[in-house]
Structure formats: C-alpha cells, structure tokens
Amino acid sequence: METLENHKGFSARSRTSSARVFILKDYKESAKKCSIISLKGKSGIDFLDRLKFDEYDFSGMLLLHPDGEPIIKISKNEKILLVDSNWRKAKKMYHRIEQKFNLPKISVNGFKSAYPWKAGRPENGLCSIEVLWTLKLIAGERDDSLFENYRWKKEFLELNKNTITASHL
C-alpha cells in the first residue's frame, strides 16, 4: 500500500507549515464544473487519483464529511482527506473509505454555498473550493487566492461575511 508521502504528487513543495489537504478526485467530473482543478501544484494540496484508491493508506487523516463533527480549529500538522465528486458519487466514495479505514469525520458548519446546486446536496454542503477555503480560514490562514478561478467567489464571500467576520478574524 502506497504511503501518501511516497505518492508522486507529494514533494518538498507539498511540505508546508499548515494543514495538508489530500483531495480524492473523481476525474469523471466535468472539468468545466470542477472548482478546484486549477489548484494542482499549489503547496499543501495533493490530488489523489480515485482509480488508485486501493493503493493509498489514509491512516491518520481526518475525513471531511457532511456528517462529521463540526471543526472549530485545525492544527498545523493535520492531514485532511477531501472527497471531490458530485454528491451521489461522494456517498459511494465515503462508504468505501469508511469500510477500509476508521477515520475521524469532521465537517465545516455555519457557511452557505454560493454554488448553484442541483438536488442531493446535504444541508451544510459546500462545493470543494468553498470548503477548502473555509478550512484554511479555520486554520488561521485566509487564502483568497484559492478563489482565483472560482466563478461564485464574490457571492460566497457576501453570503458568509457575518460568519467570517464574527468568528474568524
């Protein structure tokens, strides 16, 4: 089983002083609809191929999950697994992860999505780029550059301005 430190996407540039996010990507998703594909190569973010699922060891990670415990603080050495897929496929991916690994589940609450969703989104569901930005904010590292190519950046920030101001300055 491949450790994530040996994963080809993991390199010295991936080693940061902040929490690391591993994105288990469904590559069948349309690139036009994908909110995070432009982040490939960004420090602290590693993309994993869903087709190589059985080769990865996710031990020691926190699973970002809509039914997880709300997270209020993220330590700098955390490893977070983010599933990037439509909600229907994400449920199947969560199930596979849960069958193989006993990972603590975390969630991000209190934020509203600006993404124009179709049916099936959990009540507290955010799209991948929104949840990634929110994780960085919770870690004390607001990084608006993550939204560089996100079409609904202004709407998301406006929808959440009170939450951002009240709890994450």
Predicted confidence at residue 105, as pLDDT, reads: 95
Angstrom distance (rounded) from CA 65 to CA 94: 8
Contact 145, 22 (CB under 8 A): no
Predicted confidence at residue 75, as pLDDT, reads: 84
Q: Where are the beta strands (DSSP E) in the chain?
A: 20-25, 45-49, 62-70, 79-84, 105-107
Sequence letter at residue 2: E
- Identify the CATH number of the domain defined by range 4-167: 3.40.1280
Half-sphere exposure of residue 108, counting CA atoms within 13 Å on the CB side? 27
- Cα four-point dihedral sign 116, 165, 144, 69: negative
pTM of the model: 0.82
- pLDDT tens-digit profile, the chain (169 residues): 544 554 444 333 333 447 899 999 877 766 666 778 888 888 889 999 888 888 899 999 999 998 899 998 888 889 999 998 887 888 888 999 999 999 999 999 899 999 887 666 666 788 899 999 999 898 888 899 999 989 999 999 999 999 887 655 4
Predicted confidence at residue 16, as pLDDT, reads: 40
Predicted confidence at residue 97, as pLDDT, reads: 92
Predicted confidence at residue 160, as pLDDT, reads: 94
Burial 41-61 (b: 16+ CB within 10 A, else e): ebebbbbbebeeeeebebeeb
Boundaries of every domain in the chain: 4-167
**Residues near 90 by Cβ (< 8 Å), separated by ≥ 6?**
26, 83
